[in-house]
């Protein structure tokens, strides 16, 4: 099986990559490994939805993959998902896409610029309706995510986005990865580990190291069950 692994940064996947068998480097952002007779192409997109959408879409256009997996960290809005929890993001959206009207925010759908069910959207979200049949993936909680250019860090903005779209986690890349996979019709999964609560910026409370370790343990289990 040919599998595309997509990460924003090398840090998020380093513990897993160090255990894989290297084969070749395609370029400075993409390298090929093998694991259990599978060909794994690891793509480091860079941070943010623009880089992730562009580089993931290019990789999917240049080669045919049987499966694409996005691994990364995220912030949690949900008290049931503390730092270290690993989740499967099955629905994601772009809550900043729209316009300001005074103090109010008008979503792009209400502007008439995008239909709720205009492909690849379903009900205004990017939805993974057919994730891979993987025992390790099934053990993870399925959650709703949002993808943002500016991570939330103020009480007012957090309350607003929770009221509008009820997210459980947020990242800066997830929806972009899902969009690319949906338009290229490649089976996929977005898997993330919680590194922090979504709150006023408090780096002392972040647990990135623990989140990365949990993420890579789960990634290895997923690959072992492919």
Q: How far is CA 223 from the centre of its chain?
A: 17
Q: Which domain holds residue 207?
A: 2-224
- Report pLDDT for 4: 98
Q: Tell me the pLDDT tens digit for each residue of 6-28.
A: 999 999 999 999 999 888 777 78
- For residues 148-175, give the mean pLDDT: 96
For residue 23 the two structure tokens come to 């084969």
- Report pLDDT for 25: 74
- Report pLDDT for 23: 87
CATH of the domain at 185: 3.40.50.1580
Q: What is the mean pLDDT of the chain?
A: 95
Structural domain count of the chain = 1
- Report pLDDT for 126: 98
- Report pLDDT for 28: 82
Task: Compare 161 and 28 and report the one with higher pLDDT.
Answer: 161
Q: What is the DSSP string of 35-46?
A: ETTEEEEEEE--
């Amino acid at each position: 099986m040919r599998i595309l692994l997509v990460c924003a940064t090398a840090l998020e996947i380093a513990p897993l990559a160090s255990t894989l068998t290297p084969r070749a480097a395609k370029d400075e952002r993409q390298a090929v490994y093998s694991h259990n007779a599978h060909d794994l192409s690891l793509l480091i997109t860079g941070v943010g939805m623009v880089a992730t959408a562009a580089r993931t879409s290019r990789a999917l256009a240049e080669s045919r993959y049987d499966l694409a997996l996005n691994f990364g960290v995220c912030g949690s809005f949900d008290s049931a998902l503390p730092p270290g929890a690993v989740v499967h993001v099955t629905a994601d959206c772009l809550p900043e896409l729209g316009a300001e009207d005074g103090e109010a925010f008008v979503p792009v759908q209400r502007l008439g610029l995008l239909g709720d069910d205009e492909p690849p959207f379903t009900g205004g979200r990017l939805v993974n309706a057919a994730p891979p049949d993987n025992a390790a993936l099934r053990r993870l909680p399925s959650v709703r995510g949002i993808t943002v250019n500016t991570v939330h860090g103020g009480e007012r903005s957090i309350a607003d986005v929770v009221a509008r779209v009820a997210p459980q986690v947020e990242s800066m890349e997830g929806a972009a990865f899902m969009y690319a996979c949906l338009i290229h019709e490649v089976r996929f999964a977005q898997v993330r580990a919680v590194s922090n609560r979504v709150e006023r910026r408090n780096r002392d409370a972040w647990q990135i190291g623990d989140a990365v370790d949990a993420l890579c343990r789960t990634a290895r289990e997923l690959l072992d069950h492919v």
